[in-house]
Amino acid sequence: MTLLVMPTYSCHLACAYCFESTIGWRMKVKLDYDLDRMMEAIARINRLQPHQEAVLHGGEPLLMPLRDLERLIAFIRNLGLSVSVQSSCSILSEEHIKLFKRYNVRVGCSADGPPELNVLRGFWPRGKPLEELNRRYREKVQRNIEILAEEKLLGGVLTIVHRANAGDVEKLRKLVGWINKLYELGSRYGRLNPMYAVTPWSKPYELSVDELYRAYVWMWENFFQDRPELDWSPYHDLVAVLLGQERRALCWFNGCGFYDAPVWTVGPKGEVLSCDRTLGAGMWLRARPLPKTQLLDRKIRAIALCQTELAGDRFCHLHKGGCPAEALGGDWRRPSRFWRLWSRLLEYFERRLKALAPWLKLASEVPDRLEYIEMVSRGCVWNPFTGRYDCPKGGRG
């Protein structure tokens, strides 16, 4: 379970595709958090559902003044949780670096490649990019990524995949060259998330499912497949679910119920929200926490989809319809707009795994897909060597 802590919904930037732009303030800073209530909410959630890590998120969490940022980080560390920060990495100061070192905080940077590809982030007020400001923003982000790496504080990198950084082979070459450079600097983790347009001006940069499929396969075949030392999503997630190891995979492939997402978010006033990705759909407060035995059932959406809209999809029980916050038609009951992409990539990696080890019984080959969803929701794990479920004591195998 991930605990997100959002000291502010605002951000000094206005990236072209920011999916949070509907809930926050872009290119305006509004800081009206209540630190005590935030800390109370964090402690309450952690009592109800113990977490190992809190991620400071936003908006831009580094907009919070240093003194309060330190109080918040120290409080979370005292609860026994590790802390990381997800930031644009464009306003990092020496004081931040000292603070992060003091509390062993890792920083994840959001960037879509080297400066020449990182063009949809930055200042895009109402779709009009501010070229000179953006040029300086891009250089600064790259410099800060390098500083964080030198200081051994760089966690991972969050990269959104779109036409401006993955629309042709030349761009893809630059993108993987940059990922390689990050590795040389000491960072082996990252995410490559497909972009969807939430603003009219980001629409031309959206790649179709076919284009995304070709881009992900190109990066795999020309780079990642020979780099086992790298741990970049979605590759390891797709292979994990095929091998029955879905707990190692992203929340997208673990079944998400929207009302009760596996992510808890604490807002600036201590409000407890569902995953930040769902906020754009207007669902602000989280379903009221219930005792463990009564937690909302996350498998329901996946089971319903595998019998209806995704009934013909051989992989529906593995991607489970994907993230509901990016659902088709904005209706969380429907599958993610990327379900065909995940399905095709699962088929691609299924072929590769079977070519290497034809005796494996992959989770794509289970006799009953609905039973699979039911079994994993009970804590059982598909064993690709025996072709059976391994269940915790008292379960059914």
Please report, as ranges, the residues that interact with ligand SF4 according to CB under 6 A.
Answer: 11, 13-15, 18, 20, 26, 58-60, 88, 110, 121, 251-252, 256, 261-263, 275, 277-278, 323-325
Distances in Å between the Cα of 182 and the Cα atoms of 12, 146, 150, 353 are 25, 8, 11, 28
**Residue 9 or 213: which CB sits closer to ligand SF4?**
9
**Residue 183 or 201: which CB sits closer to ligand SF4?**
201
**Residue 88 or 187: which CB sits closer to ligand SF4?**
88
**Residue 163 or 319: which CB sits closer to ligand SF4?**
319
What is the Cα–Cα distance from 100 to 81, expressed in whole angstroms?
A: 14
Question: Shortest distance, CB of residue 334 to ligand SF4, whole angstroms?
Answer: 13
Question: Shortest distance, CB of residue 216 to ligand SF4, whole angstroms?
Answer: 18
What is the Cα–Cα distance from 387 to 266, expressed in whole angstroms?
A: 41
Contacts for 286 with CB less than 8 Å, ≥ 6 apart: 259, 260, 264, 265, 272, 273, 274
Question: Shortest distance, CB of residue 18 to ligand SF4, whole angstroms?
Answer: 3
**Residue 260 or 313: which CB sits closer to ligand SF4?**
260
**Residue 75 or 87: which CB sits closer to ligand SF4?**
87
Question: Shortest distance, CB of residue 397 to ligand SF4, whole angstroms?
Answer: 28
Question: Shortest distance, CB of residue 90 to ligand SF4, whole angstroms?
Answer: 8
Q: Map tokens 């795999």 to a residue.
A: 220
Residue 143: exposure state from Cβ atoms within 10 A (0-12, 13-18, ≥19):
middle
Tell me, rounded to whole angstroms, the distance of Cα 283 from its chain centroid.
Answer: 19
Q: Which amino acid is at 293?
A: T
Q: Which amino acid is at 390?
A: D
**Residue 330 or 392: which CB sits closer to ligand SF4?**
330
Phi then psi dihedrals of residue 142, to 5 deg: -60, -40
What is the Cα–Cα distance from 158 to 160, expressed in whole angstroms?
A: 7
Question: Shortest distance, CB of residue 231 to ligand SF4, whole angstroms?
Answer: 18
Question: Shortest distance, CB of residue 148 to ligand SF4, whole angstroms?
Answer: 16
**Residue 264 or 389: which CB sits closer to ligand SF4?**
264
Question: Shortest distance, CB of residue 105 to ligand SF4, whole angstroms?
Answer: 18
**Residue 59 or 244: which CB sits closer to ligand SF4?**
59
Question: Shortest distance, CB of residue 7 to ligand SF4, whole angstroms?
Answer: 13
Question: Shortest distance, CB of residue 109 to ligand SF4, whole angstroms?
Answer: 10
Residue 148 corresponds to which tokens in the numbers above?
Answer: 């964080």
What is the Cα–Cα distance from 195 to 163, expressed in whole angstroms?
A: 9
Query: What is the radius of gyration, based on Cα positions, of the chain?
Result: 21
